[in-house]
Structure 1
Amino acid sequence: MSLRSDLINALYDENQKYDVCGIISAEGKIYPLGSDTKVLSTIFELFSRPIINKIAEKHGYIVEEPKQQNHYPDFTLYKPSEPNKKIAIDIKTTYTNKENEKIKFTLGGYTSFIRNNTKNIVYPFDQYIAHWIIGYVYTRVATRKSSLKTYNINELNEIPKPYKGVKVFLQDKWVIAGDLAGSGNTTNIGSIHAHYKDFVEGKGIFDSEDEFLDYWRNYERTSQLRNDKYNNISEYRNWIYRGRK
């Protein structure tokens, strides 16, 4: 099986219960996770690390993580004999308040490495041949007062967890990318806004990775500039048809 197939199977493995109760101290105290999305995103990245390392080693890949904060990607995989065929893996997390809601992710900046080959990226962008997203989706559970206390190892079953119903997928970034910025005035690429199965099946809006890259390399930062150029995929294709005018 391929690296990708093995990784997908490992992520879907029913033995991966994604059942973290909290953070344990050297004294044996367990601190419940709480509902902070940044904390939970870190937890799911920790889930992914040993899976990625195990499958990568099986296929002869080296795994590197960024030495600088906010550098892309979370994991770089490559074979020493093929340094210009690197694979980027980024871990993304989102939540729903009830099951089967539509979901959306932010997929990284559009003004950094896709425009400047070496900006905020572990290796030059043109050394990567694939960009994969491992996406985690969970349903939020209302925080209870019991999450404010600490526990010991004998009280594991009493510790409230702020999430349930974890789902995971692996997909190419360009396949699940949308045509709108991630949120507000940020310069992040937004994903499609769709159901979980649409991410699994890759029901995106771009015809190719080249179209995705060209769209986001030319996407303007402000709405005023976009109004003179394009705001969405339909307007982009018209812009192309007009000779980029």
Structure 2
Amino acid sequence: MTEPKTAVLYRMVMPTHTCPYGLKSLHLLKSKGYSVEDHWLKTREETDAFKAQHEVKTTPQTFIGDERIGGYDDLRRHFGQRVSDPKAKSYTPVLVVFAVTALLSLVIGWLTGQLLSWRTPQGFIGLSMVVLAMLKLQNLEKFSTMFLNYDLLARRWVPYSYIYPFAELGAGLLMTADALNIVSIPVALFIGIIGAVSVFKAVYIDKRELKCACVGGESNVPLGFLSLTENLMMILMAVWMLIMPF
């Protein structure tokens, strides 16, 4: 018979705090078929004493056999699982926004009986603008700081870096509702053209490697093709709304 796999886990479980990484480590070990000897560190003193004894800086800590595996990320590496780098650049945040707003626009089109009409792509772009503006407005100060790295108008007139998310939100809401096109179209054209020119210059002419502020100031989205796409979508939809029959 195969000898049962066992592991020893030390994690913080205090009256006011249960370590989430300890819970993740426990779940991961059990999902891999391990019988876990689960030791709770119930006070700050117990935790500090454990870290001093084993010369570690963090908990949880997992031991398998005579080997100390380490924390949750170390445990994932031990099992050959990917560990994300919080500093790594990724387009995932923008792709998630576009995927969710595309699904929302399809649902709205289906509910209103206009799934195959021009309102579905218009709704997709409008909703994308609304969600992207919402992400920017979560921390307006950080967004404006990142935006000033590359936007040509904002670098000449700093208040534009604070106005932009509100303009994007307003135009997106009006576009989604198909209301006040006399307002939404020029606003979308204005911010879209300036944004597209700014991104194109920074990325393709100046060859600068910057983070995009498109999903807010906390993101690690690289300034590039998807950033340019956001602006081009606004321009194309605004032009389409100008020439389409009302």
TM over 0.5, shorter chain: no
Structure of greater relative contact order (alpha carbons < 8 Å, 6+ residues apart): 1
- The TM-score, its normalising length taken from structure 2, stands at 0.24
User: Highest CA radius of gyration, 1 or 2?
Assistant: 2
**Greater share of strand:** 1
- The TM-score, its normalising length taken from structure 1, stands at 0.24
